[in-house]
Amino acid sequence: MLHFHIVTLFPESIEAYFNASMLKRAQEDGKIKVSLYNPKDFTKDRKERVDRRPYGGGPGMVLAPELVLKAAEKALSKTGKQKTKNTDVTTLFFSPSGKQFNAKMAKSLSKKKHLVMIAGHYEGVDARVQKILKAKPISVGPYVLTGGELPAAIVVDAVSRHVKGVLGDIMSLEEKRVASPAVYTRPEVLMWKGKKYKVPDVLKSGHHAKIEEWKRGQRGTAGLTAASARHTVLCEPHALSRDAA
């Protein structure tokens, strides 16, 4: 079983996603597990303040490092990671300057037993957190999001698909390709606002060799489109013109 551990200020923002469809079934079947850890649970501040102004000035607030570290420490305590060289545990830190997350990385991470992810928010997470945790910086795309919750959800989804038993046999075939061909279903002729939209003739031909050839061509086109619009994320919402850790 692969256990995902996510440190986040807003667990409610992603809980629903993990409790639906494929990921819900995977958890019920004991293939994966998702645990959420909130830094707010470790603050002694009566007002539950978890962020502070950044040194050197700048917009936004930075998450208090000790609170993030305590949340991460609780997560790591459940992994049995007593030594930093435990290869069954990987800690990820979302950063715009991190390595691009892709299908190859997802497949590699699926072989781990534990994945700990630090989902930043506001102006980001104190850079010392990454250093202390020896976390690997990754990016899910060249754009800016409000926080690291969506990147974490992307990683959970993409990695889980590579865990044995999570997908059915038919869906497993889909994992052999990054880009899928266009798909069609009934009706054969779709009437919409006075126009006819037809299913390609080759898909109705019953000629399997020609159908496969058509699909290969479609995948090539889809692959080019996907390459030019990769899904990648950054958890520092205000750092549009600089690399923030």
Structure tokens at 221: 């086109």
219 φ, ψ (degrees, to nearest 5): -65, -40
The residues near 72 (Cβ < 8 Å, ≥ 6 apart) are: 7, 37, 91, 116, 118, 129, 133
120 is in an annotated binding site: yes
Comparing CA positions, the residue from 10, 7, 239 lying closest to residue 143 is: 239
Structure tokens at 38: 């909130």
Rg (CA), the chain: 21
Comparing CA positions, the residue from 67, 66, 72 lying closest to residue 36 is: 72
Comparing CA positions, the residue from 162, 155, 163 lying closest to residue 136 is: 155
Is residue 38 within 8 Å of residue 8, measured between CB atoms? yes
Structure tokens at 173: 């075939």
What residue numbers does the annotated binding site for S-adenosyl-L-methionine cover?
A: 120
What residue numbers does the annotated binding site cover?
A: 120
